[in-house]
Amino acid sequence: MDIDSLRHSCSHVMAQAVKELWPEVKLAIGPSIEDGFYYDFDRQEAFSDDDLRAIEKRMQEIIAKDEPFLQEEIDKQKALDLFGKLKEDYKVELIQALAGKISIYKTGSAFLDLCRGPHLKSTGQIKAFKLLSVAGAYWHGIETNPMLQRIYGTCFNSKKELDEYLKNLEEAKLRDHRKLGPALEFFDIYHEQAGAGLVFYHPKGALLRTIIEDYERKEHLKRGYQIVITPHIMQAELWKTSGHYDYYKENMYTFNIDEREFVLKPMNCPGHILIYKSKTRSYKDLPIRFFELGTVYRHEKAGVLHGLLRVRGFTQDDAHIFCTDYQLGQEIHNVIEFVIDTMKDFGFNRESLAVELSTRPQKFIGSEQDWQEATLQLEKALKEKGLAYEICEGEGAFYGPKIDIKLKDALKRKWQCATIQCDFALPKRFNLAYIDAEGKERQPIMLHRVLLGSLERFIGALIEHYKAELPLWLSPCQVLLIPLKETVVPYAEKIKKTLEENNLRSDIDRRNETLDKKIRSAELNKIPYCLILGEREETQSTVSVRKKGSGNQGTVTLDKFITELTKQVQEHR
């Protein structure tokens, strides 16, 4: 049974149940979504948990009646009159924007809804559903519009699938980076004085991010990238040339300085283009690969901000490759391999990757011929690499088609990370050129790409995937030293210095607490190793090792301990 039709039908039944329980409620929209469905309602009183239970009960009654879903197509004016009489203002507004025949669906003796469908044959085909939560949602997502109440639910073809999903949902709550991050003092997401959607990294979180950044710089230099840094503000004229001003302005922060309009950069590509244009380039120079850990700013609506996943200021591991047409295929291959190798180091194998190819949207720049060639090159590379992929029609960037490589975490959820965009348009708009072997000017092709994408989003994904129990090489504190007596503290300090000399991160717990409390604290703070240090260890020049999740590991020499941890770090474990 088609899952989208199933969930859309369940949303319809939920709306019917709400109208039967509270006839005064006005209906908005109720689509199926990736993990279920929702419906937006206009109701003066807030829906409570008791209300959700009442809605579920009424839905079960409707399902038990096995009522058919009956579609009818009517004239637009008749539809306006019909929903106007029912005082369904939101439906009337939707109908006014439609042309031709209007599709409606009926169930039961009285309920009808504006809907394209498709639906199931009858309500009795719905076997397993659950209402999950209530949230606020502005009509059309516009903050000046009325605030509606959105009821989320999910639906599956079997109770087994539903139970598994609900189990994962509970597990996801335990992994929520919005709770674990602040609890572990990695970051704060909101300060009232600063504003929403802005991330403040605390020392441990900043150290984690620095570890990731250092890894990225090293790996990019190994693969022939050149590190660049571009300004955070640039004149609006630059963004008009790039097309962002026309196609992306609603997401940009603009302001005036000395009677000139400036933009707080939402992208890094125009800055890299200016560096490319700073001097004459030869075919012998290409490919040129510029890499920047570039912080960008985007005007996201308050209603869509979500932890580290959707913020207003974030840093991308952004790179732009300028190459010839005969180099293009190999450069796309190289980027795909780079993505796979990088994800492997962070604990995600090839089977953890979900690949999508997005094609030309309705609004685009450049010629259709260039778009066809760019799409062909991306698709060819995916086929040659043996990667399965889905095609997302019309979801490319306004300047070129793209490959998106998403991560599937421990709960099989997808996280947007790597993107490879093939662009013929911006090099043409900026008059980019290189001198070929015959001394003639040629236009380079430009690849936009990120590996991890937004560092903020990737850190959120890591925290949820690992439940904040990060691999040793990523842990801000890798080893906690616990001296049993004050007299052993100098020995602990000596060990800490040796660990630091071997590039291992450690802290000393100097608190006047019991050993059990210190170990418990280390567990709660997700520290991979504890070294218990007493007079015996000092006398024998050894350390007593305790590993998170595995308990006591015995007593070893410090050299042996360092050798083992160094190996784990080098292998990205």
Tokens of 336: 């795909």
Longest dimension (CA), the chain: 93
Query: What tokens were used for 18?
Result: 């709400």
- Is residue 511 annotated as a catalytic residue, yes or no? no
**Are 305 and 135 a contacting pair, CB within 8 Å?**
no
Secondary structure (3-state) at 542: strand
Q: How far apart are CA 318 and CA 219, in angstroms?
A: 13
The answer to whether the beta carbons of residues 458 and 470 sit under 8 Å apart is no
472 DSSP 8-state letter: G
CA 31 – CA 38 distance, rounded (Å):
6
Q: How far is CA 208 from CA 111, 385, 472, 527, in A?
A: 54, 32, 11, 13
Beta strand 187-188 with 70-74 is: unpaired
Mark whether 298 is an active-site residue.
Answer: yes
> CB of 479 within 8 A of CB of 556?
no
Q: At a CB cut-off of 8 Å and minimum separation 6, what does 153 contact?
A: 10, 11, 14, 36, 37, 38, 129, 130, 131, 132
Is 320 part of the annotated catalytic residue set? yes
**Active-site pick, 316, 377, 416, 421:** 316
Kindly name the residue from 448, 449, 457, 465 that is annotated as catalytic. Answer: 448
Judge contact between 485 and 534, C-beta under 8 A: yes
d(CA 267, CA 290): 14
Under a CB-based contact definition with an 8 Å cutoff, are residues 522 and 568 in contact? no
> Other C-beta atoms within 10 Å of 200: how many?
12
Answer whether 345's CB lies under 8 Å from 308's CB. no
Choosing from 8, 58, 204, 320, which is the catalytic residue?
A: 320
Is 402 part of the annotated catalytic residue set?
yes
How far is Cα 370 from Cα 367, in angstroms, rounded to an integer?
5
Contact 55, 18 (CB under 8 A): yes
- Catalytic annotation on 244? no
Which of the residues 19, 130, 244, 298 is marked catalytic?
298
Helices (H) and strands (E) in the chain, counts: 18, 28
Is the CB of residue 558 less than 8 Å from the CB of residue 498?
A: yes
> Do residues 280 and 269 touch, judged by C-beta distance below 8 A?
no
Which pair of structure tokens corresponds to residue 438?
């015959």
Catalytic residue among 40, 51, 318, 370: 318
Q: What is the DSSP letter of 205?
A: H
Report, in this order, helix, strand and coil percent for the chain, each rounded to 5: 40, 30, 30
**How far apart are the C-alpha atoms of 284 and 381, rounded to whole Å?**
24
Catalytic residues: 269, 298, 316, 318, 320, 402, 448
